[in-house]
């Protein structure tokens, strides 16, 4: 069996200059560090996948996540050869990864993966975990979900039949809702991620 290319990425808002982006990234990591230190518990699935759900697992998770923040901070400051920054319109994306035979391609890959799994890595969606960003905005995420379900072919005959019964709507109205959600999601994408200048 061959190797697979796997990547881990951290997306933050693009600032006026690289120095400003670097300062912003370090500020987000400082906030993540504070949140990890204050955390009394972590997500159950995260603990089961990486550590254990007892107090020892929580303590190990905290210590490891703090080391992960240090790894990511070193990457932001340019002390990692395993990372690249990509500018994508309004966002800057820190990317690491490589070929994997089931193992982690880089140490930084695990750090980003763990921090994201623990919900402790602030990014462009979470607005530094303040709760004001697109990720927590139902007016964005609900049309996005419906549109992506449609694109994935989720609205099969069986699903539509079930929806007709559960929602007391006919098929025309169900697909009208799907089209509305799709149009709204396309509009939101245009507004929040305009095409890059050529």
pLDDT tens for the 198 residues of the chain, in order: 567 788 888 888 877 788 888 888 899 999 999 999 998 888 888 888 888 888 998 899 999 999 999 999 999 988 878 888 887 777 788 888 888 888 888 889 999 989 988 888 877 655 444 334 455 567 777 888 888 888 888 888 988 898 888 888 899 998 999 999 888 888 877 765 544 444
> What is the C-alpha to C-alpha distance for residues 1 and 99, in angstroms, rounded to an integer?
13
Predicted pLDDT at 136: 56
Other beta carbons within 10 Å of 104: 16
- Answer for the pair 57, 43: CB distance below 8 angstroms, yes or no: no
Short-list 135, 123, 137, CA closest to 27: 123
4 phi/psi in degrees, rounded to 5: -110, 145
Q: How big is the chain by its Cα radius of gyration, in Å?
A: 20
Predicted pLDDT at 67: 95
For the CA atoms of 19, 20, 23, 29, what is the dihedral angle to 10 degrees?
-120
Structure tokens at 29: 């990591």
Return the domain boundaries, the chain: 4-129, 137-192
Residue 104: C-alpha distances to residues 42, 107, 151 (Å): 23, 7, 31
Other beta carbons within 10 Å of 190: 10
Predicted pLDDT at 48: 87
> What is the C-alpha to C-alpha distance for residues 20 and 7, in angstroms, rounded to an integer?
25
Q: Helix or strand or coil: residue 85?
A: strand
Predicted pLDDT at 63: 94
């Amino acid at each position: 069996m061959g190797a697979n290319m796997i990547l881990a990425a951290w997306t933050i808002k693009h600032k006026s200059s690289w120095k400003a982006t670097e300062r912003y990234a370090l500020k987000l990591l400082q906030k993540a560090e504070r949140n990890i230190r204050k955390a009394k518990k972590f997500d159950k699935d995260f603990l089961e996948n990486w550590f254990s759900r007892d107090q020892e697992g929580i303590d190990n998770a905290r210590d490891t996540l703090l080391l992960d923040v240090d790894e990511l901070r070193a990457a932001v400051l340019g002390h990692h050869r395993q990372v690249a920054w990509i500018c994508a319109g309004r966002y800057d994306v820190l990317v690491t990864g490589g070929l994997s035979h089931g193992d982690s391609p880089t140490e930084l890959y695990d750090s980003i993966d763990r921090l994201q799994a623990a919900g402790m890595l602030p990014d462009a969606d979470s607005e530094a975990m303040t709760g004001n960003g697109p990720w927590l905005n139902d007016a964005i995420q609900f049309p996005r979900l419906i549109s992506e379900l449609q694109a994935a072919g989720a609205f099969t005959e069986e699903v539509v039949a079930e929806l007709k019964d559960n929602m007391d709507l006919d098929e025309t109205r169900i697909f009208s809702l799907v089209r509305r959600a799709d149009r709204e999601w396309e509009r939101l994408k245009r507004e929040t991620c305009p095409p890059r200048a050529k």
